[in-house]
Amino acid sequence: MVSYILSIDQGTTSTRVIIFDPLGHPITTAQKTMEQSFPKDGWVEHDPHEIWSTTLALCQQALKQAHLKGESIIGIGITNQRETTIVWDKLTGKAIYPAIVWQDRRTADYCQSLKEAGYEQQVLSKTGLLIDPYFSATKLRWILDNVPNARTKACKGELLFGTVDSFLLWNLTGGQSHYTDATNAARTMLFNIHEQSWDNDLLALFDIPEALLPTVLDCAAEFGHTQNGMFDCQIPILGIAGDQQSALIGQACFNEGMVKSTYGTGCFMIKNTGTEPVISKNRLLTTIAYRLQGKTTYALEGSIFVAGATVQWLRDGLKLFANTSDAELIAESTPDTRGVYLVPAFTGLGAPYWDPKARGAIFGLTRDTGIQEIVTAGLESVCYQTCDLLLAMQEDSASPLTTLRVDGGMAINNWLMQFLADILNITVERPVTNETTALGVAWLVTLQANIYQSLDEIASHWSLQRCFTPVIAEDKRQQLYNGWLKAVERVCLTQ
């Protein structure tokens, strides 16, 4: 009997469940869009119980679609939007507040006060992260300080904290497992990435009771079994990784120096830096790529908060086109944006600027600017932001980067991928399986289930679908990118 792997990919815009065969071929996909809530300027929330009920329903739907019974699944893998913070009641399982999403900026002033008080170096040296509302610690502190009785209950051990992986795991196991993996822990700003443990100094700084926190395991581990009755048999959960690290695994970037960029709601470029953490001189993050059998591989990461979300805004907010795929047709028929730049700093700017107070803008408008130029500028902004990251990464690297592996919802846009190759001036490679995020945790499950014994075996399954090489003239490239730098300068407020 062939065994399959069920991957849960709980992303910012949608939840997907994909069943893979052991060769990494997707057999079936069940997907549902997530409800987004923006209660105030800079606030972004999700409903944790929608996250859970949708995930469970999609797991059941995927099994049904594939005509599979639970016994055919060797293991479940969970990959998730990272940093998003959930606190729930240990007894009832009810979240005490909506999930505060990674994009949420409500703690910007508190973060600024920490920077002014001189905590940046301490936080960076322990966690590899820059102080920013992006990470979980200040969101968790906000919940404890703002939800009535939360802090008292947390101190009594009545509440649990988790990123989305932990919350899903806890629910899948019927409250038996309160675990996370090292990649998700590394994004909380509470985890010491060198010692691989929750850091007491940081818990004190952010005033977080340790009783709230999950136990941190390797990415491939025995995370528990699904609760009786949930499926027709109990299924083990054998892999967990944050979605960007999972995509790195799905892209088989296992050698030091390999880089991938995932284009979903945001864009995240990650470079495998091997077994030693590298501290960036250019405000990139040092993070955990994966931890297997107790051995940590580190990474440098550039995080852009708004990539595909720009396309959603152009479509749903401005109603400039009806379908996401129209963006590509519009850009294809637009020879030039004629100096129009869209800076999508809707929730501030991430790497390498880290300006939580910056806000979006469109520059260079003239009387003949139309929908075409604005839509094309929106797509181009994703490539310019990637270029910001690439240049930062180049400066931090001993060797120049020559190839970028791409994936995520936006990577199917051929026009965008060609413009990306042009602006970055490197080769852009798109794999056959675009669902690399879900694939990454599927590979983790196969490792834990002993289907594969090594990362090399997994890497042999990666295959190229299409390669994009730069064709633009160098002076044109420089001129376009310089225009972007000027536009960004005009939206930055903090620096």
Ligand X SMILES: O=P(O)(O)OC[C@H](O)CO
Residue numbers at the binding site for ligand X (CB under 6 A): 11-12, 81-83, 102, 242-244, 264-266, 303
Instruction: Collapse the DSSP code of 452 into the 3-class scheme (helix H, G, I; strand E, B; otherwise coil) and give the result.
Output: coil
Helix (H) or strand (E) holding 76: strand 73-80
The Cβ-side half-sphere exposure at 206, using a 13 Å CA radius, reads 30
Q: Is 29 annotated as ligand-binding?
A: no
Nearest CB to ligand ADP, comparing residues 98 and 409: 409
Q: Which of 250, 352, 408, 440 binds ligand ADP (CB under 6 A)?
A: 408
Q: Is 14 in the site for ligand ADP (CB under 6 A)?
A: yes
Smallest separation, CB 187 to ligand X (Å): 7
Interface stretch with ligand ADP, choices 118-126, 273-281, 342-350, 405-413 (CB under 6 A): 405-413
The one of ligand ADP, ligand X, none whose footprint includes residue 328, by CB under 5 to 8 A per kind, is ligand ADP
CB within 8 Å of 450: residues ≥ 6 apart: none
Kindly tell me which residue out of 324, 372, 425, 494 binds ligand ADP, with binding defined by CB under 6 A: 324
Spatial CA neighbour of 451 closest among 169, 79, 75, 180: 75
DSSP state of 37: B
CA dihedral 244, 287, 83, 348 (to 10 degrees): -90
Per the CB < 8 A criterion, the answer to whether 364 and 339 are in contact is yes
253 C-beta neighbours (distance < 10 Å), count: 24
Give me the least distance between CB of 64 and ligand X, in Å please. Answer: 26
Is 200 annotated as a binding-site member?
no
* DSSP-derived 3-state class of residue 171: helix
Closest distance between ligand X and the C-beta of residue 471, in Å? 29
SS3 348: strand
Residue closer to ligand X (CB basis): 24 or 266: 266
Distance CA 464, CA 455 (A): 18
Quick count: other Cβ atoms within 10 Å of Cβ 394?
A: 14
Contact between 48 and ligand ADP by CB under 6 A: the answer reads: no
Q: Which stretch binds ligand ADP (CB under 6 A): 55-63, 206-214, 307-315, 354-362?
A: 307-315
Scan for tokens 């109603």, then name that residue.
319
Question: Distance between CA atoms of 180 and 198, rounded to whole angstroms?
Answer: 12
Task: Report the nearest approach of ligand ADP to the CB of residue 266 (Å).
Answer: 7
Q: Which region, left, alpha or beta, applies to residue 330 given φ > 0 means left and ψ of -120 to 50 means alpha? A: alpha
Residue 325 interacting with ligand ADP (CB under 6 A): yes
Nearer to ligand X, 243 or 373 (CB): 243
Q: Which does 177 bind (CB under 5 to 8 A by kind): ligand X, ligand ADP, none?
A: none
User: Which residue among 5, 137, 309, 428 contacts ligand ADP (CB under 6 A)?
Assistant: 309
Q: Write down the least CB distance from residue 207 to ligand X, Å.
A: 24
Say whether 83 counts as a known binding-site residue. yes
Residues in region 228-267 near ligand ADP by CB under 6 A: 264-265
Q: Which residues contact 276 (CB under 8 A, 6 or more apart)?
A: 298
Residue pair 100/137 in contact (Cβ under 8 Å)? The answer is no
Q: What CA–CA distance (Å, rounded) separates 406 from 433?
A: 11
Residue 412 binding ligand ADP, by CB under 6 A: yes
Beta carbon nearer to ligand X, 68 or 267: 267
Residue 15's binding partner out of ligand ADP, ligand X, none, with CB under 5 to 8 Å set by partner kind: none
Contact between 98 and ligand ADP by CB under 6 A: the answer reads no
Which is closer to ligand X, CB of 266 or CB of 470? 266
Is 134 annotated in a binding site? The answer is yes
Question: Of residues 61, 72, 122, 312, which one binds ligand ADP by CB under 6 A?
Answer: 312
Report the partner that residue 388 touches, choosing among ligand X, ligand ADP, none (CB closer than 5 to 8 A by kind).
none
Cα-Cα-Cα-Cα dihedral of 411, 416, 418, 421, to 10°? -80
Residue matched to tokens 């907010």? 317
244 carries a ligand binding annotation? yes
Judge whether 265 is annotated as a binding position: yes
- CA dist., res. 76 & res. 227, Å (int): 13
Pairing of β 427-431 and β 464-468:
antiparallel
200, burial (CB in 10 Å: exposed 0-12, middle 13-18, buried 19+): exposed
Query: Which of the choices ligand X, ligand ADP, none does residue 312 contact, using the CB cut-off of 5 to 8 A by kind?
Result: ligand ADP
Residues that bind ligand ADP (CB under 6 A): 11-14, 264-265, 308-309, 311-312, 324-325, 327-328, 408-410, 412-413
Point out the annotated binding site for glycerol: 82-83, 134, 243-244
Q: Which residues are annotated as a binding site for sn-glycerol 3-phosphate?
A: 12, 82-83, 134, 243
